[in-house]
Structure 1
């Protein structure tokens, strides 16, 4: 247990990692301030010292996870012309699907958390709209190189992929990532006309 009043280096990431372990082990219903701080080995009130409450913590955790996934999708344009197009899109999809569906569901059912996430996305934090833009830009770049057929509507393909990821996150059980990834790969091949 960390001593009271002493700054804890990397506390935010430590609390996020603890929340991930609680979610994986016990599910979204078990995610409480106390469960997170106990898992992190911190004083019980430390979460509320750094976040306005559990709703803000949940929102920030979702935004942090999207930010982590965004690092991969921001690289998409630099991948144009190398490797397999479907593999690049599948990698991005896997990063998004690595978000815990229970956490996403929890964020949606907590009005203050959902509002905070929407506000952050509207202010430019990486989310589904940014992913859609990155995918459509990547597909247009691949079209320019002749690796994706000119007949593919890049914007519609991006919307189909992102909409599917949103659906799978909102409706899939936490252990569905492998089967979800296979479904996404089939969708990508169908949309690109390479099925």
Structure 2
């Protein structure tokens, strides 16, 4: 527990990481302000000092994780020609499943105020699935230009297939369901070969 009055660096990230641990260990039903601050080792009122309430906290946690993955995806086009295409795609495609991502997304879906805040932020331009999709499409197009994907590869559709699948699995995953990473891995392998199933409509938050 930090002494009263002593500032803690990166307190929001500390609270986010603590919430992910609570979700992973005890499930969504255990996620309370008290549980989060207790896991983070900080004062009980710290969460409410930075967020209007638990709904805002959950929304900001989701948006932060989306933004992190979007930043990672934005680096992909500069990596064209380096490493294996499948490995480069895999790192981005699976990033949102790390640190309890499905549990966080499922929690947001059960909290209408949090889901609304996420939707409004994404519609206002917050980095999310659209930005990730665009970066993947640019990366695949660059790899096609370098000859590492077939010239016939429809890179825009491949990017949509990857991101749409990740989005669907993230937003519809249930506790105890099979690990979605295996499905994503298979699709990434197809995309890296320049082939893939037709992309269906992505679900929205």
Give TM-score, length-normalised by structure 1.
0.89
Q: Aligned residue for 1:128?
A: 129
Cα-Cα RMSD: 2.0
CA displacement, residues 138-187 of structure 1 (integer Å, 9 cap, x when unaligned): 1111111111112111111111101110122123356778x433322221
The whole-number CA distance in structure 2 between the counterparts of 1:136 and 1:47 is 38
Contact residue 76 and residue 136 of structure 2 kept, 8 A: yes
Tell me the secondary structure at the aligned position of residue 100 of structure 1: helix
The whole-number CA distance in structure 2 between the counterparts of 1:58 and 1:23 is 12
Gaps of 5+ in 1: none
Contact residue 59 and residue 108 of structure 2 kept, 8 A: yes
Gaps of 5+ in 2: 197-205
Q: Mean Cα displacement is larger for which, 184-193 or 111-120?
A: 184-193
Contact residue 63 and residue 117 of structure 1 kept, 8 A: yes
| Equivalences, count | 193
Q: Does 1:93 align with 2:93?
A: yes
The whole-number CA distance in structure 2 between the counterparts of 1:106 and 1:7 is 29
Contact residue 69 and residue 132 of structure 2 kept, 8 A: no
Equivalence map 1:106-121=2 (5 Å): 106-121=107-122
Equivalence map 1:41-80=2 (5 Å): 41-80=41-80
Q: Aligned residue for 1:151?
A: 152
The whole-number CA distance in structure 2 between the counterparts of 1:112 and 1:193 is 39
The whole-number CA distance in structure 2 between the counterparts of 1:130 and 1:29 is 31
The whole-number CA distance in structure 2 between the counterparts of 1:85 and 1:43 is 46
The whole-number CA distance in structure 1 between the counterparts of 2:47 and 2:114 is 15
The whole-number CA distance in structure 2 between the counterparts of 1:6 and 1:184 is 44
The whole-number CA distance in structure 2 between the counterparts of 1:144 and 1:30 is 49
Q: Which has the higher helix share?
A: 1
Contact residue 90 and residue 181 of structure 1 kept, 8 A: no
Q: Aligned residue for 1:102?
A: 103
